Each structure stands twice: as structure tokens, then as C-alpha cells.
Structure 1
Amino acid sequence: MSLSGGLMLKLAFLLIGPAAFRARWYVLGIAGGLLVVLAVMLAAGLSQMVTQATYIALGGGFVLTGLAMLPAVVSLRGERRWRGLIRPAASIAAGGLVLSAVFLGGSAMALAFALAFILDGFVRAGMALIVRFTGWVVSCLCGAAELGLAVMLLSGWPLSPGLNLPFCVGLFVGLSGWLLIRLGLMLRGLEDEAAILLLPVFGARGWYDHAPVLIGDSPLNRPDDPPILVRVWTPTGQARSRRPVIDRYLAATDADGAFSTGHATLELAPDLYISHCPATDFDPAGRSLVNVLHGGAGNDVPGIFQRSYDDEVQDWRAADVSVAIRRYSARRLRAFWAGYKQDATYNITNRNCSVVVAAALEAALEGVFAGPYPWARLLWLLTDPDMWVAAMIRSRATSMTWTPGLVLDYARTLSRLVDHRDRSWGRRFQGFLARIDDDTPGMGANAG
């Protein structure tokens, strides 16, 4: 939960760009300090009025977001309408639980928090134990901490039932405040030519080591320039057995038993094509899942960069889905790719086709919302449902790895954010439902 909130803050600063905040880095520090003070007051139960006001603000935000989603769902038909109701209903229910703590006590809200901590804690710790990427021990400890908080909420120990819920909410608020303080201090020392992705808060997995360092401005593309095209081959359509989440986001086997993780590429016409694959077909036969997905250097293999989409179609097949993004910085994208392609080493969970596409996309989108009113833009982004969706996707990728399914969802979400920023909440969410529920065909060969 706290990780998703932190990732949303980092993504918002990435899209606005560091230049708007560098001169006033102290404002971030002050805002973060105020949040830390609020967190201490909540955790210690120093003011009932402050606690209730915080609950009302959080609960009201969830309820309003759910209500904003409903108009889009009503326009859907049949089974998709009922599936679509899950998201706004969950948001409204979460808001209702938070608000109920103000009037009826926090037992229901504590149970909901505990369940969320248990689910996220098990997923985070479990995936870290399997993938064992750089920093996996910290991820395991975070998952264990979430499980510990769940036990505290359910047992009412060591804090009294009246304090354990404010403690958890205060912890969430405090971590957000601490992140703002860190960002402010880091932005103060960030050189003008360095990308925000080079800050340590982005660098835990080493995915942004090639973020651009550029002299001078990096203007956005013109309206008549070609868009960035993110293409995805998903393994879903060729799956021999139907396992919706696993097949879409991890891997599948086709009717012939061939293993497929899917594939993702990024293209900017006429001459930039990002496609990272292992030099030889990947065969997991005879290996345990833990060994296959290990993210350490022991699983590094030689890789290759495909030359063009036409070559991949000729050698393989056409992509299942493509997403166009029309607002970006071509200079930042090219600088990122110039650094990354110097090393073709491939790792199935830490340096794969999806990792490079996601990192390149974020490099290209730095500063797309730069403007004269960065603080208003920051507030607007933090209240946008698409930012919440993007943060959840990044949270899953951070705790596991980027996969073609996650890249597809992320590219669609970022496209709505940067290319359709004047659309209402309801229209954005309707577009999200229309795309995320697509049952796209997959591929039947090994992939990157």
C-alpha cells in the first residue's frame, strides 16, 4: 500500500520533470515534514480531531473516485458491465470503511487493512524469494512488515485496538512524507543536465542506469512527428490451459508445449527500434521455477537486439497489440537507447524485453507536463485515477519484474495520461475498461 503511494509520487515528479521543483526543493521538504508530523500525531493518538479529519479526507477521496468511475461503467453492456462495477464498488466500499471509522469505530476498516496487508505482503515477499533480484532482502522485509501489521490489526496487540488503526494510517502518511523529504534533498543536488531517473529513489533495480544526461533543453515532439509505438505479443492466446492471470502476466505454454513469456518492443520511426531478446531460444525444461526466474547475474545470458519490426514479423509473427504515445521527448528516448544498447546481456527477470521498453518509455516521458504551475499539476496528477492505476502496475513490476502484460497495461495507462489529459475521469476509466478486458491473442514461440 505505502509502496504504491510512493511510486505514484515518483511517477508524478517524473512526468512534471525536476526543473520545476529544483529551485524550490525546500517546499517538498516542508510538505514532507508536515506529513511526518501528521503521521506522528495519528500514530500516537494525540488528537482525535486530527485523526477524524484524516479519515474523512481519505474516505471522501476513495468515495469520490468510485463515483467518478460509475458513469463509464453504466455505458458498458452485459457481462463487462458487471465486471466493470468491481473497481468503482471496491473504491466506494474502501471509502465507506474509512468513513465508518469516524462514526462507528474502526473494526471493519482494520479488517480491510489487515486483508490488504496480508495479500500484498505475501505477494511481495513471495516474489522476492523467487526472483531474488538486487535488493530482494529489503523487499522480503517489507512484505514481512506488512504481515506483521496485519497480525497487529487482527490481534489488537501490542497496541490497543483504538491505536493500531491510526498507527497503520500514520505509517502510510509518514512514509509518503519521508519520500517527499528525500526527493526534495535529492533534487537540490541534481545537476541540470541529469534525468530525474538517475536519483537513488529510482535506482534500486538498476533499470535506469542509462537514463539520459543531456546539455540544454529537450523539447517535446511536434504534432506531426511519428508517435512512439509500444508493441506487445502476449502469451495468452496460445495457452494450452487457461490460467487468466498467470497466462497474461507471466508465461504460458501452447498446444505444442512451447514455453512463452510474451514479448514487448518500442519503435520510433524511422530508425529507432528497441527489441531485446535472448540470443538462443529459452528452454526451462528440467529447471525449477526458482532457478528459472532468479534475477541474479548467474542467470545472465547473451542477448541480441532485433533490427526492425518487419524482421520480427518475417521471422515470427505480427504483434497482438500496439499502443501509440504521441507526446514525448525523442531526444531523451534516443539518449537512453544509445546507452542501453552498449550491453546486450539478457536476464529473464532483470534485463529483459519488457524492462527496457518500460524504462525507455519513462525516459521519453520525463517532463511532458512541465509548465508554469507545477504544484497545481502535481495535485491534479495525484487525484487522477489513471495515476493510481499506473502506480499499482509499477508496484507489481518493482516487486517482481516487468512482463509484456504489465507493459501493455502501463503503456495504455500512460497514453491516457499524457495524450488525453483533458478527458474526464469517467471517460478515462471507460477507456481503461475497454482495453484491459481485451482477450488478445498470444504467440506460440519463445520470446524475450
Structure 2
Amino acid sequence: MVKLMMILLGVDYLRNRWRSLTVTGWLLLAVGIGVFIDALDGALGFPVAFVGWLLLIEGALTLSVAWAGVGGQRRLRYAKGIAFVLTAALIFEGDHHGHFILSILIGLAFIFDGLLQATSALVVRYRRYRVALGFAIFEIVLGIFMIQPYPTHYKGTVPYCIGAFFIFAGWNLIMIGMRVRKLTSNPAVWGDASAEAASVADKAPDNEARVLQASEWDGPPADNEPALTVHVWTPVGSSKAETQWHPIVDRYIAAVDRNGVISTGHAALESPEGIYVSLYPAVEIDRSPDDFARLLRATRENDVPGVFQPSYAIESKAWCPSTVRVRIRNYDPARLDSFWRNYRADTTYNLTHRNCSSSVSRALDAALEGAAGRLYGSRAGWGALVRMIVTPELWVAAQIRKRAVTMAWTPGLTLDYARALSMVADPRPYGWLKVARMALTKMRKSRRAWREEGALAQNGGSNADPPARV
């Protein structure tokens, strides 16, 4: 979450507010620790019912306006609303097994996530897998703590979660404030890229000249509208033969056809300025089931020469058109160009560490750096930060990024990541605001129609023949 917020808000925005971010972080951390400790003795002073009402109201409002969303946004709103309402119902159920069910669900979620992260770290063995393994063990321990009844017999589940949320939120803000205090370039984007490339992007004249004409849109860009495009060939869609049905696996990892051939799909990024990021192995990798497990390791012995495809037109003609496209208006051509000049100097390809999907995701991060600042311009105050934090797609993007970094970027994860970031970079109107505007517009039209009907009636009465005398 820290890196994603640094990307979308930009170093300049955060550096100007590092003191406030740090102070707020310490306050949240203190509150979270206090709530967590308060829940340990079983005599709860925290207003759990109040949290239940908040969740119920938020869930009901989300469900009432979820239909106003577009595509994946609508499904996410429905999922969020249902989850909030069910959580509120379990909180109100209280001692009648509500706390127990909630504890089991939350604990199992932590354990499952920790096991998944630990397994992927041990299998992929990327550069910092030991750090991820430590976090995975911590998640598993936290899940076990949620499931076992000691010391509050499940009554402290909700305060535990709220306290943990405040603790993690405060720690994230402290980390952001301390990291951006003296930064001149964004390490969340540039990473091992040269600081010179980052400074060139900051000083590029196009970076200052790009001005957006709106701060929110009702839908994705039109086909004739200039926009950054993420092309994704899904494993199933790019397979040459009919694939076997494996739920989730063939969406996010790979598809296997009837001949046993594995298809992992592909991802590419295209900009209106002519940049095309599409990394592919120079020599086709043998993806038979026997060798595939060995190739999953992100170790240097699996590095092979790669090649960047020249353009989408050439690649799609030689292969097939992309299965899905995600288009984003709010991007920075100068930062993308600086990143691309540095990144394309190395053509190394690694199936899990440096593949087509990881290249596209890194290029997308560079292009969207400082999206909130470009979106609101001089109005990018604390409201920009608050609006971004309460956007569900930001949390979805953060979870996808976490999975991809600890496992591997795949076309399926890149597709979901691009979709989530498109909702943050090109924000849609809030559901309830959109419904309110629609209602006000309808009321104005109705009043206008009534006034016109009244005017016509008055004009008709004055022009009519006078009544005959009897």
C-alpha cells in the first residue's frame, strides 16, 4: 500500500506534507494499540455496535447505488456492499455465535493468505523471498490468534481487527512520511533505474504542460480518444487449441490445451506517443509440464535473452489481436518515456521475475506516477488523499500488487491491476453523488416541462375565442 500511494500521489505531493503524514500516522498507531489492548481483557470499552451500524449503513448505501457502476466497478461495489452487510449482521448477532463465526472467517482468511504467500515465496524464490516468508508466518500466527478463543472468547474479534487496521494504517503513513522527506525521485517507480532518468522525467516540459480537462469521467475512453492502452492476451484466449477447464488457474496462471501444451498468455502496453512495451523471449521457452516447475524460480540461471516487440500492429498481425484492452486517460508521457529509455537497455527475460507482465506493470507505474496531482492540479489538497484512500479499487490494486510481487506478474494479474488503477487514475463519480445528480437533473427537467405546459396553457387561453353570450 505504501508504494502504491507513493506512485499515485507522487513524491512532490507527499514531500510537502510529510510532517502532517507522520503526526497522523503516530496518532493512528497510538489509537490502534489502545483499542487492541482494550480488547485483551474482555471488558470492552470500544463501541462495537457503533461499528456495526456504520458498516450496515455503508453497505446499504453501496448496494443501493452499485448499479450506477461500470463493468468491474459494479461487481466490486456489490461485493463490498454484501460483505459489509454480512459483517454488520454478525456483529449484531454478538454472543449468539456471531463473534465466533466472524472470528473463524477472519482467521481462516489470514491463514489462507499466509500459506499462499509462503508457498509462492518458497516456489518462486525471487530476490527477497525471505522477507515475504517472514510476513507470511506473521499472517498465519495472526490467523491462529483470531481463531482460538483465548483471552476474550471471541468477543474481542472486532476490536482486534479495528485496532490492527489503525496500527497498519498509522505505520504506513509514518513510513511514507519518513521516506519522502528527502526524496527527489520515486523509488516505488524507478527502483533500480537511474536517478538521472527520474530527474529527467521531473524536468521534462511535457510533464508540466499536460493538463486534464476533467477530474472524473462516466466511463472508459472512447476508441478515438488518446489514451494509454494495456493489451492482454489471456491464457485461454491465446491458446492455439481448445483448453481444459481449470477455474482460477487458467485465468491467472496458465491454461493447458488438450495436447498438454501450456499457454501463459501475454501483456503489452501502448501509448499514443509511439511507445510499445512488449517483452518476449528471443527463443521460445519449452513450457512442457516437466520443465515448467523449474522455470518458475526467479533465479539468475533462468534468465534468457529477450526481445522487445516493435509495435502492436506487427505483433497482433504475427500472432492474434489482444483479448482484452484497458485504456487510461490520466498518464504522464514524459515519465513513461524516461522509464522506457532506461528499461529497454536490458533485454533479459525471466519467466517469473522479468517477463512481459512485470514489464507492463512497471511501465504502468511510471506512467501513472503523480496521477492525483495531475488530476486535481492546484486543488490536490488533503481531499485527493482521502478520496483515493476510500476508493475500493485502490485496496484491490494494493492486494494484486502484493500477490504479484511475492509470486509473479501474470497477464491475469496485470489485467486486474490495470483495471483497478484505471478507476483510481480516471475516477468515476461516487455512486451516491451520481444518483443524486441524476435525481436533481430529472427534477429540473420535470419542473421545466411543467413550466412549459403552464406557459402553453396560458397562451392558449389568451388566444382562444371569447365565450359566446347567452
- For 1:61-110, what per-residue CA distance to the aligned partner results, in whole angstroms no more than 9, with x for missing partners? 5751564145435999xxxx999955532232234445656998843332
> Is structure 2 residue 268 aligned with structure 1 residue 265?
yes
Amino acid at match of 1:195: N
State whether residues 34 and 177 of structure 1, in contact with CA within 8 Å, keep that contact through their aligned partners in structure 2. Answer: yes
Per the alignment, residue 322 of structure 2 pairs with: 319
The counterpart of 1:415, out of the listed 417, 422, 425, is 422
The counterpart of 1:189, out of the listed 182, 187, 192, is 182
The counterpart of 2:340, out of the listed 324, 337, 342, is 337
Amino acid at match of 2:132: S
The counterpart of 1:287, out of the listed 283, 287, 290, is 290
* Percent identity between the two aligned chains: 34
The counterpart of 1:20, out of the listed 6, 13, 17, is 13
> Is structure 2 residue 84 aligned with structure 1 residue 91?
yes
**SS of equivalent to 2:404:** helix
Structure 1 pair 184–248 and aligned structure 2 pair: CA distance change class (3 A): same
Deviation at 1:226, TM superposition (A): 2.6
Per the alignment, residue 437 of structure 1 pairs with: none
For 1:210 and 1:357, how far apart are their aligned partners in 2? 21
Deviation at 1:157, TM superposition (A): 4.3
CA RMSD of aligned residues (A): 3.5
For 1:66 and 1:402, how far apart are their aligned partners in 2? 35
Structure 1 pair 309–28 and aligned structure 2 pair: CA distance change class (3 A): same
Structure 1 pair 95–357 and aligned structure 2 pair: CA distance change class (3 A): farther
> Is structure 2 residue 360 aligned with structure 1 residue 357?
yes
For 2:87 and 2:120, how far apart are their aligned partners in 1? 26
- For 1:153-173, what per-residue CA distance to the aligned partner results, in whole angstroms no more than 9, with x for missing partners? 222347875557644543342
For 1:398 and 1:354, how far apart are their aligned partners in 2? 11
Per the alignment, residue 234 of structure 1 pairs with: 234
Per the alignment, residue 431 of structure 1 pairs with: none
TM-score using structure 2 length: 0.77
For 2:284 and 2:389, how far apart are their aligned partners in 1? 42
For 1:288 and 1:56, how far apart are their aligned partners in 2? 55
Amino acid at match of 1:17: G
> Is structure 2 residue 67 aligned with structure 1 residue 64?
no
State whether residues 18 and 177 of structure 2, in contact with CA within 8 Å, keep that contact through their aligned partners in structure 1. Answer: yes
Structural mapping, 1:146-295, within 5 Å: 146-157=139-150, 161=154, 166-167=159-160, 169-191=162-184, 194-195=185-186, 197=188, 212-214=198-200, 215-216=202-203, 218-219=207-208, 220=210, 226-237=226-237, 238=239, 240-285=243-288, 287=290, 289-295=292-298
Per the alignment, residue 137 of structure 1 pairs with: 130
Structure 1 pair 75–233 and aligned structure 2 pair: CA distance change class (3 A): closer
Per the alignment, residue 436 of structure 1 pairs with: none
**SS of equivalent to 1:134:** coil
State whether residues 61 and 432 of structure 2, in contact with CA within 8 Å, keep that contact through their aligned partners in structure 1. Answer: no
The number of residues matched between the two structures is 410
Structure 1 pair 422–67 and aligned structure 2 pair: CA distance change class (3 A): closer
State whether residues 279 and 303 of structure 1, in contact with CA within 8 Å, keep that contact through their aligned partners in structure 2. Answer: yes
For 1:210 and 1:240, how far apart are their aligned partners in 2? 46
Structure 1 pair 198–11 and aligned structure 2 pair: CA distance change class (3 A): closer
Deviation at 1:128, TM superposition (A): 1.2
For 2:51 and 2:4, how far apart are their aligned partners in 1? 22
Structure 1 pair 50–163 and aligned structure 2 pair: CA distance change class (3 A): closer
State whether residues 121 and 143 of structure 1, in contact with CA within 8 Å, keep that contact through their aligned partners in structure 2. Answer: yes
- For 1:169-195, what per-residue CA distance to the aligned partner results, in whole angstroms no more than 9, with x for missing partners? 43342122112111101111112xx13
- For 1:227-253, what per-residue CA distance to the aligned partner results, in whole angstroms no more than 9, with x for missing partners? 111111001244521112100110012
Per the alignment, residue 384 of structure 2 pairs with: 377
**SS of equivalent to 1:388:** helix
Per the alignment, residue 105 of structure 2 pairs with: 112
Unaligned runs of 5+ in 2: 214-223, 436-470
Deviation at 1:36, TM superposition (A): 1.3
State whether residues 229 and 326 of structure 2, in contact with CA within 8 Å, keep that contact through their aligned partners in structure 1. Answer: yes
For 1:83 and 1:37, how far apart are their aligned partners in 2? 32
Structure 1 pair 266–198 and aligned structure 2 pair: CA distance change class (3 A): closer
State whether residues 331 and 371 of structure 2, in contact with CA within 8 Å, keep that contact through their aligned partners in structure 1. Answer: yes
> Is structure 2 residue 407 aligned with structure 1 residue 400?
yes
For 2:285 and 2:432, how far apart are their aligned partners in 1? 42
- For 1:336-394, what per-residue CA distance to the aligned partner results, in whole angstroms no more than 9, with x for missing partners? 11111110011111111111111111111111211334311111111112223222322
Per the alignment, residue 304 of structure 1 pairs with: 307
Per the alignment, residue 371 of structure 2 pairs with: 368
Amino acid at match of 2:304: V
For 1:54 and 1:388, how far apart are their aligned partners in 2? 24
Structure 1 pair 73–209 and aligned structure 2 pair: CA distance change class (3 A): farther
Structure 1 pair 65–388 and aligned structure 2 pair: CA distance change class (3 A): farther
**SS of equivalent to 2:107:** helix
For 1:275 and 1:241, how far apart are their aligned partners in 2? 27
For 1:158 and 1:208, how far apart are their aligned partners in 2? 51
For 1:418 and 1:334, how far apart are their aligned partners in 2? 19
State whether residues 193 and 343 of structure 2, in contact with CA within 8 Å, keep that contact through their aligned partners in structure 1. Answer: no
Tell which deviates more after alignment, 28-37 or 140-149: 140-149
State whether residues 131 and 290 of structure 1, in contact with CA within 8 Å, keep that contact through their aligned partners in structure 2. Answer: no
Amino acid at match of 2:276: Y
Deviation at 1:262, TM superposition (A): 0.6
State whether residues 210 and 339 of structure 1, in contact with CA within 8 Å, keep that contact through their aligned partners in structure 2. Answer: no
TM-score using structure 1 length: 0.80
The counterpart of 1:44, out of the listed 34, 37, 40, is 37
Unaligned runs of 5+ in 1: 1-6, 429-448
Deviation at 1:27, TM superposition (A): 0.8
The counterpart of 2:331, out of the listed 320, 328, 332, is 328
State whether residues 132 and 406 of structure 2, in contact with CA within 8 Å, keep that contact through their aligned partners in structure 1. Answer: yes
